[in-house]
Structure 1
Amino acid sequence: MEENAKDAAASEWAALGPSWTRAAAKAYAQVVKEAVGRGWTEEDLARMATRELGEPFHRLAVAMAAAPGRRTLDKFAAEERLDRFSAARAVVDLLGLYSALPPITALTVPPPSTPGEGSGGKALARIRALLAKAESTGFPEEAEALSAKAQQLMARHSIDAAALAAANGAGPDAPAARRIGVDRPYEGAKALLLDAVAAANRCESVWSAEFGFSTVVGHRSDLEAVEVLFTSLLVQADRALHRGRTSRSRDFRESFLISYAARVGERLTAATEAEVAEAARAAGPELLPALAARDLAVRDTTRRLFPRTTATRLKGRDADGWRDGRTAADRARLEGP
């Protein structure tokens, strides 16, 4: 929609007086319904509002998703100190963005809980606690050792879920999918880090660069842990990147993050393989086929959701950034704190 057309639409709503919010709320509901029909969730829409329009539009999108009505629009206008026309124009801009979004792959619905999954909440709470400590400590070695311990717990939880299914004679449950935001700047390096975390935790990720997110496919017991660890590693990478220096080139920062992601992936995968080997010795020959069945289910679901994908190659251009990124990742002690 062109700017003149947007101004005209906003003026038409503003001319309605206080009742403009009723017309805007009705239009919002219709546009969102159409976007959902094209595969977008309201969480996706709020993320796109931030990415394309800015933080005030994110607040508007989140508020409308929670309570799409007149009071929400009145409150938004008051909090942002907007006159009637400006508030109406903000809604027009948001709906214009939503209307222009193309169809995307619809997410699969997570399967219902199965008996025995009650321990998942406790495991995730422990993982969150470890990562919170990692983010708050001022000692890099401790932070990365805590992250490594969190990865060990994530791997153990996934193994336990597979072993329980095998013991009950059940096949692998259907994998689900989750979109995780990959924000500017250096989206490619961040997507690489998410891919590394996903791969180490029996998941697959597909990056949608034009929309600023990756879709991670995996079993429900793994998806939330992947997002939690990815978010924590981003925080820790940013802190390591800026430690000791105030000015770094773009090539240095990008090379640092690419190297960090690659090395973290190696370390996380090694931690997972060690947990699998130990569990296989204890559980016997039934475990490895159960894990393989889960991996196959994830791979098949990913191919069904994304039948056509292309590989993206990233290359670090700054040798110092690459070295420092690898050094930061190498500080992890995989045996835990």
Structure 2
Amino acid sequence: MSQKILVTGAAGFVGAHVAAELARAGHRVTGVDNYNAYYEPRLKHDRVAALLGPLGVPCQVLDLCDAAATRALLADGGFDAVIHLAAQAGVRHSIKAPGDYIQSNLVGFGNVLEACREAGVPHLLYASSSSVYGSRADAPFRETDRVDRPASLYAATKIANELMAHTYASIHGLRSTGLRFFTVYGPWGRPDMAYFSFSRRIRAGQPITLFAEGQLLRDFTYIDDIVDAVIGLLHAPATVDKPTESDIYNLGHHVPVKVVDFVRTLEDALGLKAQIEFGPMQAGDVPVTCADDGRLRARIGDWACTSLADGLGRFARWIEAWEPAPGA
């Protein structure tokens, strides 16, 4: 059945892919984004033009920190669900610019919650992060694990989002679903992510730096797999005895890979060798991310699982088309 769905952050990496797939499935999708300059806005506009434009999905400019505008959008929209993917991303940037995270991830999220409550939105899905698990080596991570030791302000804001959503569910009956994303990668990705910046430097013949001697473990998750899980959770019916529940799910495959091995696969995808330099662990980084996806599979069944070689191959083909190397 067709639904009317609002996707915030629809010019972003995950948001654009989710909005496009919903539109392809016949849903009536509205997107909003503030198109900020955390990374080049050109990429955001290109995403919208390539992924959303052909499907007729609008992506209007809106800053969710504007409470009145956010309330007006929700009050007038008649949305069956809100998928809130807008946020200030980036672990390291949160050390340099904490105010960006307080505004976007706390004030903005609070405005979305309140607007959903006032408008009577039946279901809010929102982006959390594997960063909530903090700096720990025991894996896999489960949704029932403690998450009160964040390693960055970014992670702290995501933990706060989960608590805020739980409060609105328990007090106001706003059903919410938190999405703990694990290192999402793929075409149209974010330039601040390591695989994207590595690719740019490798293709330019410049060295790359692997922190913690390249031994960090990451549960890389391909964008199409993430979209499959998000839409599965959107369509999952509310639990009969908890129709206004607040639940949280890991969106990762329980297949952590050493960053140095990830780079070797990226080299194969690009057909180029990297000049690798090693550096120490960086502030805010964590040694491992690894999802237990048992709760997710129990809720939506088996979900897509793209191999790293296939996913990076698709990314390599995309970046070579979007940003041809000099002289190509």
TM-score normalised to the size of structure 2?
Answer: 0.26
Structure with the larger RCO, 1 or 2 (CA within 8 Å, 6+ apart): 1
Bigger radius of gyration, 1 or 2?
1
Higher helix share: 1
Higher strand share: 2
